[in-house]
Every structure is written in structure tokens, then in C-alpha cells.
Amino acid sequence: MIAIKNSLDALLRWLCIILFMALVLVVVWQVFSRQVISSPATWTTSVAQYLFVWLALFGSAWVFSEKEHIAVDFLTRLVRIDRTRGMEVAVNVVILAFAALILVWGGTRGVDITWSQKVSGLPVSVGMMYLALPISGIIMMLYSLFHIWEAAHGRGLPKTDQEIQEAI
């Protein structure tokens, strides 16, 4: 299970790097074509939007994998240590449900509705941008299941501030 997670982490890391590089190049070309050669490229705005959406969704999935996302853990710290494991499992079940219902199910509906809508000036559809929702949702569901597995086996969140400092 850890090997699958590590492979998916590496894939997401490289995907985010490539998407970010492409986004920078598109925006640089957009500014250059508008300011220097006074002939703005019309396709750059749409491509930058698509790249940004995909980067944000896949980047958030990768950050969730590493547990580097913003987390409010004061409730976990208030309960006794023997209940921390249950709290972490419960939180990840909620995240799993959100990913399944909102990102996968809702994203799939969005893709279905917008798949035939063409983007002017590009050979893609609006649905292709929304395709990032169910894909990132499936990835987040896999990470949630991994975190639930880890928490159930006692390898979840650090229990004390000292453990957090040692991890850093």
C-alpha cells in the first residue's frame, strides 16, 4: 500500500511541476505577445485557466497525501490520546465522503453537462477542464483510504507538540 502511495506521490509531484512550468510559459507568452509585439494571443487566457485549475486540484491532492494541508486539529488535541485514532479515522471518513460526493459524483455530472461545450479558439471542450474534478477526487479518495488505514494501525497524526517538532 505504501509503494502505491509513493508512486502516486511521485506521479503527482511531476505532474504538478509540468503543469506549473506550462502555466508559467503560457502566462509569459501572454504578457510578451500583448506588451512587446502588440498582438495578444487569444488562446493564452483559456489555456492558463485550464492549467491553473488542473494544477490547483492535483496540487491539493498531493498536499493532502503529505498531510501538509491546512488542518484544524484542536479537537484532536483536546480528546484523550486513546481517542485520537478514532478522531483521525472519523475526519478521513468525512474527507472520503466529500471527495466521493462532491469531487467525483458532482465533477462527473459537470463533465457530462459541459463535455460538448467548445472553448473558442481551442480544440478542447469545457468538460475537459472539469475532468480534473473527478480525477483529483478519486486520488483524494485513495489517499483518504490510506490515511484511514494508517490511523487504524496507530501511524496517524502526531499526538503531542513535541512529536510535531521532531517530525519537522
Give the mean pLDDT of 71-89. 65
For residues 164 and 71, is the Cβ–Cβ distance under 8 A? no
Contact 140, 95 (CB under 8 A): yes
pLDDT at 87: 77
Higher pLDDT, 113 or 73: 113
The predicted model gives 104-117 an average pLDDT of 94
| Domain span including residue 87 | 2-167
Average the pLDDT over 143-150 and give the result: 90
**pLDDT, averaged across the chain:** 85
Mean pLDDT of all residues in 87-113: 92
Give the count of domains, the chain. 1
- Residue 77: which residues within 8 A CB-CB, separation 6 or more? none
pLDDT greater than 60 at residue 89: yes
The alpha-helical segments, DSSP class H, found in 36-153 are 43-65, 74-78, 81-98, 107-114, 126-130, 132-152
Q: Is 121 left (phi over 0), alpha (psi -120 to 50) or beta?
A: left
**H helix or E strand, kind and range, residue 104:** none
pTM exceeding the 0.95 threshold for the entire prediction: no
Q: What is the average pLDDT across 78-96?
A: 75
Q: Is the dihedral of CA 9, 3, 66, 152 positive or negative?
A: positive
Q: Look at residue 85 and tell me whether its pLDDT is greater than 70.
A: yes
pLDDT at residue 71, rounded to an integer: 65
17 has a pLDDT exceeding 90: yes
